[in-house]
Structure 1
Amino acid sequence: MSDSIPLIGCIAFGLIDRGTNLIQVRPSSTCPLSCIFCSTNAGPKSKVRQTEYRVPVDYVVEEFRKLVAFKGAHGIEAHIDTVGDPITYPDLVDLVQALTQIEGVEVVSMQTHGSVLNERLLDELSEAGLTRINFSIDALDPELAKKLSDTEWYDVERIKNLMQYVVSNTKIDLLVAPVWVPTLNDQEIPKIIEFSLSIGAGKRFPPLGIQRYEAHKHGRKVKGVRPIPWREFYRQLKVWEEAYKVKLVLNVKDFNIHRRPMLPIPYRRFEKVKVEVVGPGWLRKEKLAVTVRRDRSLTLIDAEEVPIGARLRARILSNKHNILIAEPLW
């Protein structure tokens, strides 16, 4: 990806500032797995994606440094999460190391399912200064784990060994983050809690962060499964808390997340702006565009017929957290 494309504005890559001291870092978008519940419809079996992105590490770091300066160079967490899996980013170690060296950055964390992770990379990430790894494992039963990941080669025993390696052989804190998919892995969540506690996860941060399955607009929906209501979700977490004597109902204070100035949003909803189409969009029928002022990227929807290179006006439909969605105006 060219450094002429702003890293603020598109949900699939770049930087996301939601008005706290945590900045989401998305250097790439690919994922080796095709999990049946994936909220971003990632992986080789995706039927809605048309483009994957990769941002040069120097460009990510340069723009991140500017954002930290704006928000205040103290108590910042850089959270590498992506719409895929960060372990597919070839410059991940260099990225972690560079982020840790920026004044004001106190935590560098990342999310992963760990499917192509190995001990050598974990050692390198530890030496680079990775603070915490949010490691997703959704079932301990090998066949169910393959079903949930929709990946025949997924080896949950290997994942368990890597988690134990994190705790025993690196300086990285481990947070285990299963997705609870009602009726599919109900019986697995208690087993995952027991496993996480047995290996000593969560020395600085909570050991577990159980996630609720949600049916997102463009994500994969699990056939016959409805998301559990939030009230029931938290009620069950409290039951498990009592049973295992571990905190499972988490809040921002557990991670020292607090409000910070958010980058100004320069474009209002329904405002008409001039844009240039610079590439295919992340999902089908979309295009990637930049404003003519080159201050934001944006996603054009229903833009299948819009040619790359076109300059046109677009109407902003959504601008929350500077993630811009627009429709082309011909």
Structure 2
Amino acid sequence: MRYDDLVDRLATPLDPVRVGTFPDGSVDDYYRLRDGDSTVASREAFASALTAGRDSFVLTHVATDAGGQSVNAARQAAALGDDVTLVGHLDHPIFDFDFETVSMGAPAHVRVHLFDADDVMFVEESADLETWSFATLEGALGERIDAFLERDALCCTNWASVPGLDAALGDIAARRLDGGVFCLDPGTISDTQASEMLDTVARLDTYETVVSVNADEAKRLAAAVGHADDDPAAPAVLDAVRSAASATGVVVHDVDAATAVTPDGRMSVPTLDTERTLTETGAGDRFSAGLARSLAAGWDWDLALAMGNACAAYYVSGQGTGSVSDLHDHVLAHRP
């Protein structure tokens, strides 16, 4: 079992790798929704209240935290002891971290409404993020741009909400750099974005590209390669997505397992049985960070999947972003 091997790996500090993440950033406010004296615990309950004619609800503020997919991934890699550079939209005092940050403008503002099973996010977009381009990234980093893009692992995130990412990845591909692992977590993409993304990722052939998605995003990618009615986690479907993207691997992190298809075949690692507490928002980003940094460190795919699962499960358990020792103890207690 790979979790036994992971416990052994996590018994001592990990050899650090150089991780870069970009380009988003958000200030996230978390709320509970109340209908009178009762907490609205699910989307279904909210919809029922609306259908019944309820037009007034009470918001109870729970917490404010630094957010954004690239921010979450950077925090996870830093917690594991890696050498991290986050280049995002960070013009806010909440982004005060003990690793290197470079800001490219104002963050988005996200209101996360907490439900028992699946949160809902309302996003106030950042004008800086909407007009972001590769030139913005290059301007922020200056002469360090190529060194950043040649880090051992890059986590590129939020294709869905960053209009300039398609063109920017084309610009990155054109530089023909000596790339490492390039992990793309696209966020909640549309059907059109799914097709565009696969075409663009295929151009990043100097990197070890990895597409990391949740189950809903996997359905969009499956449809983009002609498998709209098939199981998006089926080996043939994932391999069709991988081939369309000319990727090293495609990974689906779902409730029960993380599944990957690479040129060597399909592998799946069950998730850790951890009870959700406050929120799952941000867990997938931590999965991608754990996966990407582990692949960059030369780990086998199934062990890297187990690492991604461990990072996500620890966060979902409500204990924050896990360090090496945190994850060691959590995996030891919850491994299958």
TM superposition score normalised by structure 1: 0.40
TM superposition score normalised by structure 2: 0.39
Richer in helix (by share):
2
Richer in strand (by share):
2
